[in-house]
């Protein structure tokens, strides 16, 4: 399980859409292996040095994407991030595309929610929203 504050999730989606409008669309998370696939508003769930979500709009030259680390897997705040990442994301680096329309629909149905929850298993990615204190 990975959790992200919904305020950050919404800001990252908005940033991706703004970058896409200014710079010619959305980036492809499949390293060019699936042209056109998942080039729409959304987030990239990335596992490498920790686990984080990032904006997916095309970026201006050398501009950094907007990023938010999972509460459980931030190398700057959790000394056990490496073990947590390996247990719940896997040992390899990777990227999963998450469609903005699905995330926002789930979040909008539960206005009191504070965090996006992402659960991964070998065959699927589950999203839900939760209230965290």
Full pLDDT tens readout for the chain, 133 residues: 999 999 999 999 999 999 999 999 888 766 666 666 667 899 999 999 999 999 999 999 999 999 999 999 999 999 999 999 999 998 888 899 999 999 999 999 999 999 999 999 888 999 999 999 7
| Continuous segment of H or E residues that includes residue 79 | none
Q: Where are the domains of the chain?
A: 7-99
Rounded Cα distance between 20 and 57, Å, is 4
Is the Cβ–Cβ distance between 98 and 77 less than 8 Å? no
Q: What is the pTM of this model?
A: 0.91
Rounded Cα distance between 107 and 6, Å, is 8
């Amino acid at each position: 399980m990975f959790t992200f504050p919904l305020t950050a999730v919404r800001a990252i989606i908005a940033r991706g859409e703004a970058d896409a409008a200014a710079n010619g669309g959305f980036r492809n998370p499949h390293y060019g292996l699936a042209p056109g696939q998942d080039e729409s508003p959304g987030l990239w769930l990335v596992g490498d040095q920790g686990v984080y979500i990032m904006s997916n709009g095309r970026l201006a030259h050398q501009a950094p994407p907007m990023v938010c680390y999972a509460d459980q897997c931030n190398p700057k705040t959790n000394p056990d991030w490496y073990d947590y990442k390996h247990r719940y994301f896997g040992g390899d680096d990777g990227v999963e595309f998450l469609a903005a329309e699905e995330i926002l629909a789930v979040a909008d149905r539960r206005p009191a929610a504070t965090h996006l929850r992402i659960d991964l298993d070998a065959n699927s990615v589950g999203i839900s929203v939760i209230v965290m204190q």
